[in-house]
Structure 1
Amino acid sequence: MWKNYLLIALRNIRRNKLRTFVHVFGLSLGVGICLLIFQVVLHAFSFDRFHSDADRIYRVHTVSEWQPGERFESSGTSGPLGEVIDDELAFIETKGRLYTLSEVSAVVPDQNRYIGKSNLVAFADQGFMKIFERVWLAGNPETALSSPFQAVISESSMQKYFPGLEASEVLGKEMLWIDAADSIYTHIHGVVRDYDQLTDFIFKDFISFSTIAQLEKSDWYGLHSWTNLNSSSQLFVKIAKSEDQAQLDEGLQKVASKYLDIDDNSEKFSAKPLNTMHFSENFNGTEVSLDLLKGLIFIGVIIMLLACLNFVNLETALAIKRSKEVGIRKTLGSDRKQLMLQFLSETFLLVIAAACLSVFLADGYYQLFSSYLPETFQYISFSVYNGLFLLLISVLITCLSGIYPAVILSGYQPQRALKGEVQGGSQLGYGSFLRKNLTVIQFTASITFICLVLVLRSQLQYVSSQPLGFEKDAVMYVRLPFMGDPEVKAQLNDRIWQQSSVSAASLSNALISSNSLWTTDSYLQGDTTGQALYVHVMNVDSAFVEVHGLNILAGKRASNKIDEVLVNKNFLHQANLSSPEEALGMSLQISGEQRRIVGVLDNFNARNLREEILPMVFIYSPTYYNYLNVKLAPSQNLSHAKLSLEAIVKEVYPYESGEFLFIDEAIEGFYEADRRIQGILSFASGIAILISILGLYGLSSYTIAQRSKEVSIRKVLGAGVTSILMLISKQYIWLVLISTTLAIIPAYYFSNQWLKEFAYKIEMPYVVFGLVGLAVLGMALTVVFIHSLQVIRTNPAKVLKSE
């Protein structure tokens, strides 16, 4: 029986080549997207699943809430918490402390060999190595990292530091790590194998945590105070099997109440399961937004549903052509169940063909969007997971797409089907209503996607064209060593400024506009009263104003004196000062030091345009400069000037990259995630509108097939082509207009939710919604006109000869 079903299905597929192409192509578009999204989601949820007892491992976060609605969560914790947590909470089996470092220079002292800078070095204790087990190639895990100045390195680091040596041979070797705080001499007490599975624990080298105290650097690393929050200070715990997250959170709240001086529970500790770390704050900025993953899944489901609706539309539209086949089969003894199985087997073959094609389409999607995806992600064409996914989705699509057409086709009455009267049934009247609604759903989704893309595009164009309050053309910057010798940096700055290609140069602790933010409390002293102000601080030299073309409203630019500061215009508003001149000479206490306001700058956007401009204070503290900013002279060859300046930086700092970057490129990077979302939605819009047009083709096929005799009679009676086209197209105009009306609701909601993230934003472009509707209507009518003309141009005698 099944063999017979398959043979008949194959014959029908071969006979109706256009139908087969439309079905297979339409479904493969949706299945390909779902397959790629499935692999992306599977990849994201695969991080750090291999650790023993992963379900009992948690990372402790700190949650602060200054006022309702202003909540800040950090993956870091205060240092003292790591010292007392296992004493306070008896159900903690093991605690693991980690302090991450950045830009650490590695040196092999015995060879006097500089290895380079690394972001893969961290302080860790024995507990951390117990929680996150490793394969030890050499050393004793019970004693390694137990004392100050001990180190454990990975196998890949060993091959880099001591090429040609075995793991046992490097034990006891000396390593020097140079951090901003100090030079740390250590001896290697262990070598571990690198993780070969997906993990967010990227670190290769570990220095014993007790080294920090031995160096007397607890203050420097911010581990000395309960009130000091440092995201580099990480705390992991493994709890007993009998406990759960609720008990851990309750215990952490008791610890917070005991040790933190807080009011109304404004600050607390919170436990996060290990399997959520990839979706919050990890160690190399590759965390994935759960909301983004949910959005991708939603887009995949929508596209797949549109493809299924398209299948249903086209199958029911072509059902009239198979009515006599059904009548003959029923006359020969086939029952309704057998006919349904026959049609479902035909649908399943089409879906399987689409699934096979989708494997290659998904690879094409991956090539198109590879820059949007994590570096660790690789598309795999053939795997067990892919096979299972494609099988499950094929069965699901067969059920969603095939059952309704199978019910309709198998329900034809033989005597009516053989006479060609199937369209008169009440069941098909319902079917016509359903098909029109399915088409409305398809176009609603398509119009919604297109509207969202255009709103995103308009907003991104708006933020790109907004004046930021400073000059960004031909301005470059280079990163310098943090906490390097201030005199060396000043000499480098002077040397750069002397170059003919440079019009100005300046040192600062941050870029003119970046995601970096240093905020603190300040105290403005008036004639009789004082006022506390929360301000954004930038540490810059006197040339910073010239390099970036900042506008001075009153006073002068600072003259590289510690007791002089500049403020911005919003500082005046916050301090209730009526004019810039009024602020000049006022005393401002900041960072425990008394300073004097000597100038007022006009506002500029020191952050991205999602945020309002904060009250700002510009101080002078040369010890902490780590950026050199350069304004190039007019009419310079940018490439040549860049190379010559980089050569000078490399002379002074041979171990730094010395690469100059343009500030306008850094600013463009603020909105890279939004551009990626726009790209994904643009692609989804294209697929959705393509599938919708295919669905419209199915609906118009059905309608025109039903009305072919009517069209022929009208032609005989003298009706023109235009009047017939308008008659046929009228219902499609209404369908698209209804779709546009319905699409406005989700398009407005999602656009408005996204625009709320921006302090500077466009007005909702309602006109765009109407223009998109008109554009889609134009495409739809074009398809209908092309299809209708084939029928209109047919000789009426061929259509009416059976009457």
Structure 2
Amino acid sequence: MHHPTPPKWADRFLCWYCRTDLLEEIQGDAYELYERQCKSKGKFRADLAFGWNVLRFFRWSNLKRRTSPYRPAMMYKNYFQVFKRNLLRQKAYAALNIFGLAIGLACFVLISLYIRDEMSFDRMHTKSDRIFRMHEILESEGVGERSASLPFPVAEALQVDFPDQVEQYVRFFNFQSPALAMSTIDHEKEFYESRAFFTDSTFFDVFDFNLITGSKATALDHTNSVIITQSMAKKYFGDTNPMGKYLVFQGEHNLLVTGVLEDVPQSTHFQFDFLISFSTLTHYYGTSWPGWYWNPCWTYLLLRNPSDAPVLEAKMPAFIRKYFPEEIINDVTLTLFPLADIHLQSNHDYEIQPNGSMSTLYIFGCVAFFVVLIAGINFINLSTARAIKRAKEVGMRKTLGSYKGQLITQFLFESVAVCALAAVVAVGIVIAALPFFNTFAEKDIPFSTLLDPFFVAVLILLPLVVGIFAGLYPAFVLSSFQPITALKSASSGEKGLMFRKVLVVVQFSLSIILLVGTGISMDQLMMLQKNDTGFQQENVIMIQTLRTPVAQTFEAIKAEFKSNKNVLEVTAVEDVLGAKHQVGNYSFDVMEKTRPIPRLNVRHDFLKTFDIPLVAGRDYSEEIYTDDSLALLVNEQLVKQMGWTNETAIGKSFNGRLNKQIVGVVKDFNFASRHQPIKPLVIDLNLNPRAFNLFIKYMAVRVSPDDMNSTISFLESKWEEQYPGWPFEYFFLDSSLESLYKAESKLSKITIIFSALSILVACLGLFGLSTHTVEQRKKEMSIRKVLGSSDAEIFLLFTKRFFVLILIAIVIAFPLAYVLMKQWLSTFAYQVDIDFVIFVLVGFAALGIAFATIAFQAWKATRTNPATVLKND
């Protein structure tokens, strides 16, 4: 059918203009209008009208193009429509891409939430930059203690001597007891409380904890006053107002409730439920505090300026010489530690509660980075692999007049849009997983934290960065093709092949490093928890006895307990064996002066209860009445440091108030955490009943594993008969010692979970790439089958390229993993030997997972009918 031709100059101008702006619909409308006018008005008048309309349109569009939002909006609407069509056309790949990246982003956000929470400890106080805790290091020749606490008089003397630096101080004290008894006045509710402290009335001058009821100025001013938290108010008084009511402390002192605090946030390096006025201690120590040797007080200083800390530390040697006992002044060092650094960087003895670890956070940070990097690589790999499928589209668009800049914008827009969807899915995953993560990580991170500017920025910038990198290849490489080249290259699968191979190798290398690290960290944890510590820790029940009536009737309750056939041995000990110890000053024959040496006060049958072997001499004997005053047991490490042999050590004297002699040498055992090497130890028999007020904190009862419940019930009944009104509080020693390695346990659990997720993400990418490869090479495989290749040969051909990449990843990852884990293990006093079986297992696991991932696609490739493929192609 013949169509009238408009004026040549106007026609060419309109074609050029509409082509460059992708406005083909305007060109079509102009031709339709011209044809109608030719029929109604004649060709001459139609030509004039066509030319005029073209000029008028050009003038209007140039004026409006830069000021009207319609044009950019229409352009991005077009981008969005193309993006939506591609997304719906390739649902499987879109799901793989979005879900894989969402998992990586969610892992990164969850670990970041954990790290941010750990680093926020103690920063809620407005004066946190001026608050320092003072530490005492008492060591001689590397033996002694690095204590987080100080003697009673230190704080007051510091403020008196250095008023220009020390504005205020506050101390915390709890008799160095694991728990203290508290009850209502009618004794209906009686509990041991592990978070009860005596503290100075200056508490609120230093810290900003919120007092709901009561006066901060006077709540701790008077003797026998106590502030309790909301939880304790509910626990002891129910819905009744606790103000003005009494609690009974240790069964002997009535404490008046003068305030109710908000529950202490978890983001503080120590938790408390009861704050008792420091002046209440006059009931126990009179008007003068214990001296300058015993160091049971955690002491915090509020400095006038943060820069005063080094000035004050420089004055400590003179301060020590002025006040501390002569025998220890050369062994004592006093240091200041910033409040905000305590939780992650203080690893001193006698911490109020276990702290976190900065090195653990570094590892978690690396895990988060690895997982999000693996997810990003996976996204980029799939995006670039699929991009070549759009070469024909690029050719058609360029033929129709699209600019290179418009194509770049289109591809980047689509890539960023997919990443934005992944970010939305990631937020959903985080919201769903956060309650479980809080339980697992022992945190209380609220959902509102996700609205923090940092996490908002993460959820915007990370997808944006990944989207831009993923869109760079199709945006700049494909858009640079000449139309004829793009159309010819539409079916080529080799574009960017080397780039994708490198990404797969990097991706699996990171995953393998995480898997190896997980295996070695689990081995290290098992070694710390389960390896022989040198003493019996299974089936040992520890009963709290400090400042209880046990002091007067220990032998009686011991006999009552041992009347049960399932009770094997009973003793008493100063601290939790394998976790804590105290330090005493000792001077043996070969020593010129006293030295601080780790010490344990014990009762008879200590070695029997914990099954600690003697290597020389004898044990303490109940038949030798002078053992508690004239005999000592020591360990092999002390003998070695003194330059003796085990046999020659017997009879060596300790120069103290009494001339004690070594009567036995015990085999070395881990009396402290296995984070530390075994040090010299003195085991001191203390039969003084008053020792239960300070030096003896626990009864240790070793029982038969048979019928454990009835044995515990028996012990509880005998306890209640002997000590009515005193709660029977116990724990199993092995369970308690496991808590010492909480940081390593948490590290192992988190790396297991996120390593598994990293492998899942990597496999999603591998599945996507294998599917893409099947599509790209289906014609080649069909021709090979027609030419006689077997299914096995086709299967091998398909899987070989992926297996080679995994093997390269293994070769790269193993040395890196070994170096990294060797460096991490060097931070432990006891290190597990790196088991190369782990490397073998991880290698086979990586190959097996890769095989399982691509096997279906490989099998699918072998089952394809060549005739169908070649006919369709």
Provide, for residues 93-118 of structure 1, a one-character-per-residue CA deviation record: whole Å limited to 9, x for no partner: 83131223253444666x68876443
Correspondence for 2:318: 258
CA distance in 1, matches of 2:331, 2:651: 40
Provide, for residues 692-729 of structure 1, a one-character-per-residue CA deviation record: whole Å limited to 9, x for no partner: 22222344445555544443443333333333444444
2:587 is paired with a residue whose SS is strand
Are the equivalent residues in 1 in contact too, given 2:510–2:813 (CA < 8 A)?
Answer: yes
Alignment partner of 1:625 out of 696, 704, 711:
696
Correspondence for 1:410: 479
* Correspondence 1:664 to 2:730: no
Alignment partner of 1:638 out of 702, 708, 711:
708
CA distance in 1, matches of 2:850, 2:342: 45
Provide, for residues 227-280 of structure 1, a one-character-per-residue CA deviation record: whole Å limited to 9, x for no partner: 6544x33223052xxx4x3x2222212331331239999724224144765764
Over 3 Å counting, the alpha-carbon distance change for 1:407 and 1:687 in structure 2 is farther
* Correspondence 1:569 to 2:636: yes
Correspondence for 1:578: 645
State the AA in 2 paired with 1:743. A
State the AA in 2 paired with 1:64. I
CA distance in 2, matches of 1:135, 1:670: 31
State the AA in 2 paired with 1:329. R
Structure 1 residues 68-217: aligned runs within 5 Å: 74-89=147-162, 92=165, 94-101=167-174, 103-106=179-182, 116-133=191-208, 141-142=216-217, 145-146=220-221, 170=244, 177-178=249-250, 190-191=258-259, 193-194=261-262, 200=268, 202-210=271-279, 212=281, 216=285
Provide, for residues 167-221 of structure 1, a one-character-per-residue CA deviation record: whole Å limited to 9, x for no partner: 8x73xx7766449xxx666666x5355267665364454444455568645876x
* Correspondence 1:588 to 2:654: yes
* Correspondence 1:756 to 2:826: yes
Are the equivalent residues in 2 in contact too, given 1:436–1:699 (CA < 8 A)?
Answer: no
Correspondence for 2:564: 499
CA distance in 1, matches of 2:796, 2:216: 82
Q: What is the TM-score when the length of structure 2 is the normalising length?
A: 0.79
* Correspondence 1:783 to 2:853: yes
1:260 is paired with a residue whose SS is helix
CA distance in 1, matches of 2:766, 2:684: 65
Over 3 Å counting, the alpha-carbon distance change for 1:670 and 1:99 in structure 2 is closer
Correspondence for 2:15: none
Alignment partner of 1:747 out of 817, 841, 864:
817
Over 3 Å counting, the alpha-carbon distance change for 1:285 and 1:265 in structure 2 is closer
**Taking every aligned residue pair, what percent have the same amino acid on both sides?**
26
CA distance in 1, matches of 2:846, 2:833: 23
Correspondence for 2:27: none
Alignment partner of 2:488 out of 416, 419, 423:
419
Give the superposition deviation at 1:23: 0.9
Over 3 Å counting, the alpha-carbon distance change for 1:548 and 1:3 in structure 2 is same
State the AA in 2 paired with 1:626. K
Alignment partner of 1:470 out of 502, 521, 535:
535
Considering only CA atoms, is the larger Rg found in Structure 1 or Structure 2? Answer: 2
State the AA in 1 paired with 2:193. S
Structure 1 residues 149-548: aligned runs within 5 Å: 170=244, 177-178=249-250, 190-191=258-259, 193-194=261-262, 200=268, 202-210=271-279, 212=281, 216=285, 224-225=291-292, 229-230=295-296, 232-239=297-304, 243=305, 245=306, 247-261=307-321, 267-274=333-340, 280=346, 285=353, 287-363=355-431, 365-366=433-434, 369-378=437-446, 389-420=458-489, 423=492, 431-463=496-528, 466-482=531-547, 484-511=549-576, 513-525=577-589, 535-548=597-610
Correspondence for 1:18: 92
1:525 is paired with a residue whose SS is coil
State the AA in 2 paired with 1:497. K
Are the equivalent residues in 2 in contact too, given 1:202–1:283 (CA < 8 A)?
Answer: no
Give the superposition deviation at 1:26: 0.6
Give the superposition deviation at 1:633: 4.8
Q: Report which stretch shifted further, 740-749 or 73-82.
A: 73-82
Q: Report which stretch shifted further, 6-15 or 774-783.
A: 774-783
Correspondence for 1:693: 763
Q: Report which stretch shifted further, 768-777 or 68-77.
A: 68-77
Give the superposition deviation at 1:439: 0.8
Give the superposition deviation at 1:564: 2.2
Stretches of structure 1 that go unaligned for 5 or more consecutive residues are none
CA distance in 2, matches of 1:638, 1:207: 38
State the AA in 1 paired with 2:703. L
Q: Report which stretch shifted further, 733-742 or 274-283.
A: 274-283
Q: What is the TM-score when the length of structure 1 is the normalising length?
A: 0.85
Correspondence for 2:102: 28
Give the superposition deviation at 1:18: 0.8
* Correspondence 1:44 to 2:115: no
CA distance in 1, matches of 2:144, 2:781: 67
Give the superposition deviation at 1:85: 3.7
State the AA in 2 paired with 1:397. V
CA distance in 2, matches of 1:196, 1:530: 49
CA distance in 2, matches of 1:303, 1:355: 15
Give the superposition deviation at 1:157: 5.8
2:586 is paired with a residue whose SS is strand
Over 3 Å counting, the alpha-carbon distance change for 1:651 and 1:33 in structure 2 is farther
CA distance in 2, matches of 1:530, 1:464: 39
Alignment partner of 1:673 out of 726, 731, 743:
743
Correspondence for 1:597: 662
CA distance in 2, matches of 1:36, 1:642: 41
CA distance in 1, matches of 2:314, 2:354: 33
State the AA in 2 paired with 1:285. Q
State the AA in 1 paired with 2:308. L
Over 3 Å counting, the alpha-carbon distance change for 1:73 and 1:663 in structure 2 is closer
Are the equivalent residues in 1 in contact too, given 2:609–2:702 (CA < 8 A)?
Answer: yes
Give the superposition deviation at 1:440: 0.9
Give the superposition deviation at 1:314: 0.9
RMSD: 3.8
Give the superposition deviation at 1:648: 1.5
Stretches of structure 2 that go unaligned for 5 or more consecutive residues are 1-74, 322-327
Over 3 Å counting, the alpha-carbon distance change for 1:413 and 1:640 in structure 2 is farther
Provide, for residues 340-388 of structure 1, a one-character-per-residue CA deviation record: whole Å limited to 9, x for no partner: 3323333334333333332343355445544432253455697566666
Q: Size of the alignment, in residue pairs?
A: 775
Are the equivalent residues in 2 in contact too, given 1:537–1:618 (CA < 8 A)?
Answer: yes
